[in-house]
Structure 1
Amino acid sequence: MGRIAVLYSSVGTGHKTAALALSRWIQLESPQWEVQCLDVLSFGSPFVKAFIANSYLEMVKRAPRLWGYFYNAMDDPKARDGVLNSINELTARINLRRLIKRLRSFGPDVIVFTHFFGAGAVAEEFLGSVPVYYVNTDFLSHVFHRNPLFRGWFVASHEAVLQYREDGLTQRVYLTGIPVSPSFLQRIPADQARRSLGLQEDRTTVLVMSGGIGVGPLDDAVSALARRDRWQVLVVCGNNRKRQLEIQRRFADKSNVRVFGYVDPINSLYEACDAVVMKPGGLSSSEVLCLEKPMLIIDPIPGQEQRNSDYLLENGAAKAVFHVKATDHKVEEILEDPSKLRSMVEACRRLKRPYAGRDVARILTRGGN
Structure 2
Amino acid sequence: MFRRRILILSTSAGTGHVRAAEALDKVFRHQPETDEVLTVDVLKFTNKIFRDFYSSLYTQLVEKAPTFLGWWYKMTDEPWKTDRMRLMLDRLNTGPLVEFIESFSPDVTVCTHFLPAELISHLISQAGLRTRLSIVVTDFHFHAMWLCRLFHRYFVATQETRVHLSRLGLPEERITVSGIPIDPVFSLPLDRFEARRALGCDPNLPLLLVSAGALGVGPAEVVVESLRSVSRPVQIVVICGKNPLLQEQLLQTRAEWTNSFPLKVLGFTHEMHRWMAAADLFIGKPGGLTASEAMARGLPMIIVAPIPGQEELNSDYLLEQRAAVKCHEFTTLAFKVDSLLSDPARLQDMQRAARETARPNAAQIIVRRLLDDEAQEPEPVWINRKQKQQIAQVAKAVKL
Query: TM-score interval w.r.t. the shorter chain?
Result: over 0.9
CA deviation profile, 1:324-364 (whole Å, cap 9, x unmatched): 23322212211221221122112112210011000000111
One-letter amino acid of the structure 2 residue matched with residue 157 of structure 1 = T
- Aligned partner of 1:325 in structure 2 is 331
For 2:163 and 2:284, the matched residues in 1 are separated by 27
1:361 and 2:367 aligned:
yes
- Aligned partner of 1:223 in structure 2 is 225
- Aligned partner of 2:396 in structure 1 is none
Q: 2:95 aligns with which of 91, 94, 97?
A: 97
Q: 2:289 aligns with which of 283, 296, 306?
A: 283
Where 1:174 maps in the other structure, the secondary structure is: strand
Q: Structure 2 matches for 1:234-253, cutoff 5 A?
A: 234-253=237-256
For 1:114 and 1:240, the matched residues in 2 are separated by 25
| 5+ residue gaps, structure 1 | none
Where 1:300 maps in the other structure, the secondary structure is: coil
For 1:347 and 1:337, the matched residues in 2 are separated by 16
1:191 and 2:193 aligned:
yes
Larger mean CA deviation between 101-110 and 250-259 belongs to: 250-259
One-letter amino acid of the structure 2 residue matched with residue 235 of structure 1 = V
Where 1:139 maps in the other structure, the secondary structure is: coil
Q: Structure 2 matches for 1:1-369, cutoff 5 A?
A: 1-30=3-32, 32-77=34-79, 80=80, 82=81, 84-127=82-125, 129-171=130-172, 172-228=174-230, 230-254=233-257, 256-367=262-373
Calculate the aligned-residue CA RMSD, in Å.
Answer: 1.7
Q: Report if aligned partners of 1:208, 1:278 keep a CA contact under 8 Å in 2.
A: yes
Deviation at 1:161, TM superposition (A): 1.2
Superposition TM-score, scaled by structure 1 size: 0.94
| 5+ residue gaps, structure 2 | 377-400
Q: Report if aligned partners of 1:225, 1:231 keep a CA contact under 8 Å in 2.
A: no
Deviation at 1:226, TM superposition (A): 4.0
CA deviation profile, 1:43-75 (whole Å, cap 9, x unmatched): 111221112112211222222111101101111
Larger mean CA deviation between 31-40 and 312-321 belongs to: 31-40
One-letter amino acid of the structure 2 residue matched with residue 310 of structure 1 = D
CA deviation profile, 1:7-49 (whole Å, cap 9, x unmatched): 1001111111110001111122346432100000001112211
Q: Report if aligned partners of 2:108, 2:131 keep a CA contact under 8 Å in 1.
A: yes
One-letter amino acid of the structure 2 residue matched with residue 111 of structure 1 = T
For 2:201 and 2:228, the matched residues in 1 are separated by 15
Q: Report if aligned partners of 2:9, 2:42 keep a CA contact under 8 Å in 1.
A: yes
One-letter amino acid of the structure 2 residue matched with residue 7 of structure 1 = L
Q: Report if aligned partners of 1:226, 1:257 keep a CA contact under 8 Å in 2.
A: no
Superposition TM-score, scaled by structure 2 size: 0.87
Cα separation, partners in 2 of 1:219 and 1:367, compared to 1, 3 Å: same
One-letter amino acid of the structure 2 residue matched with residue 112 of structure 1 = V
Larger mean CA deviation between 234-243 and 41-50 belongs to: 234-243
CA deviation profile, 1:193-227 (whole Å, cap 9, x unmatched): 11222111111110011222222322222123245
What's the % identity of the aligned pairs? 34
Larger mean CA deviation between 126-135 and 304-313 belongs to: 126-135
One-letter amino acid of the structure 2 residue matched with residue 170 of structure 1 = P
For 2:324 and 2:275, the matched residues in 1 are separated by 18
Where 2:217 maps in the other structure, the secondary structure is: coil
Q: Report if aligned partners of 1:226, 1:233 keep a CA contact under 8 Å in 2.
A: no
Greater C-alpha radius of gyration: 2
Where 2:29 maps in the other structure, the secondary structure is: helix
Larger mean CA deviation between 4-13 and 247-256 belongs to: 247-256
Where 1:29 maps in the other structure, the secondary structure is: coil
Deviation at 1:165, TM superposition (A): 2.1
CA deviation profile, 1:204-254 (whole Å, cap 9, x unmatched): 110011222222322222123245483211111222222222222223233
For 1:192 and 1:35, the matched residues in 2 are separated by 35
For 1:191 and 1:343, the matched residues in 2 are separated by 19
Q: Report if aligned partners of 2:285, 2:303 keep a CA contact under 8 Å in 1.
A: yes
Larger mean CA deviation between 196-205 and 16-25 belongs to: 196-205
Q: Report if aligned partners of 1:277, 1:297 keep a CA contact under 8 Å in 2.
A: yes
Deviation at 1:265, TM superposition (A): 3.2
Aligned residues, how many? 365
Cα separation, partners in 2 of 1:309 and 1:96, compared to 1, 3 Å: same
Q: Report if aligned partners of 1:93, 1:118 keep a CA contact under 8 Å in 2.
A: no
For 1:249 and 1:30, the matched residues in 2 are separated by 51
